[in-house]
Amino acid sequence: MNDTTPATSRILVWDLPVRIFHWMLAAAFAGAWLTADSERWRDLHILLGYTAGLLAGLRVVWGFLGTRHARFASFVHGPRRVAAYLRSLVSGAPQHTTGHNPAGGWAIVALIVLTGAIVATGLAVESDAGPKSLDDVHEALATAMLVVVGLHVAGVAIGSLVHRENLVRAMVTGRKRGAPGEAIRGPRWLAAAVLIAAVAGVWTGVLPAPGLPEGAGLTAITASAPAVRHDGRSDDD
């Protein structure tokens, strides 16, 4: 939603589930990328992939049930709206949006879709459920994800400059400039607790994770990483 009036007050825009999703997904993808080619840390790579997939799935649910600025309906717009926003950035009169801007909204959708596709192809590769070419598809999708992340970061930097607002800090505190009527009522502590509990379930081995030893959580995985597990070697490939 465009804010056509001067927005000088800082209001609560991003609820806790949105902020937790954002930073946890960033950490999960970074960790999965760094461990992608390591046989020693293969199980951790899989665990991070499951984490990213779980986060993406929960974000889809929250995109329909969440607070006003978390819902897809508030930031997924047609091409004309996106083009108009991009033109405004170079016109000297950038459109200010309280939630995600029209271009950033599509970046969020792309990140969610790519995460799901990466996890799905990774599962297929680990279970030998598809052709060997799926491994290449998996890697290509991860590269595409990295490109979208780069574009997203660039967009955040540009948005922070043209709107003179620290958008990174906003995703930490949840507060942005906006009209009082645009504020959400609260951070949604219960939904945040459910999200954290779900991720904790994966990381402690409580929730099943195909491809990993039964009940293997983070502690077991990191403890066994230096040991020989897969093919008699403890060195990275």
pLDDT digits (tens, 9 = 90+) for 9-22: 899 999 999 999 99
41-45, 169-173, 225-229: which range is least confident on average? 225-229
Domains of the chain in sequence order: 10-224 (1.20.950)
Q: What is the structure's pLDDT at 217?
A: 60
Does pLDDT of 2 surpass 70? no
For the chain, the average pLDDT equals: 87
Q: What is the structure's pLDDT at 5?
A: 42
Concatenated DSSP letters of the chain: -B--S---SEEE-S-HHHHHHHHHHHHHHHHHHHTTT-STTHHHHHHHHHHHHHHHHHHHHHHHHS-GGGSHHHH---HHHHHHHHHHHHHT-PPPBSS--HHHHHHHHHHHHHHHHHHHHHHHHHTT-S-THHHHHHHHHHHHHHHHHHHHHHHHHHHHHHHT--HHHHHHH-EEE--GGG--S---HHHHHHHHHHHHHHHTT-S--TTS-TT--HHHHHHHTTS--SSS--S--
Does pLDDT of 55 surpass 70? yes
Q: What is the structure's pLDDT at 4?
A: 44
The pLDDT confidence band at residue 227, using thresholds 50, 70 and 90, is low
The pLDDT confidence band at residue 156, using thresholds 50, 70 and 90, is very high
Q: What is the structure's pLDDT at 65?
A: 96
Position with higher pLDDT, 70 vs 2: 70
Tell me the pTM: 0.85
Q: What is the structure's pLDDT at 75?
A: 96
Position with higher pLDDT, 123 vs 130: 123
Q: What is the structure's pLDDT at 131?
A: 81
pLDDT per residue as tens digits for the range 172-223: 999 999 999 999 999 999 999 999 999 998 888 777 776 666 656 665 565 5
pLDDT per residue as tens digits for the range 135-148: 999 999 999 999 99
Does pLDDT of 233 surpass 60? no
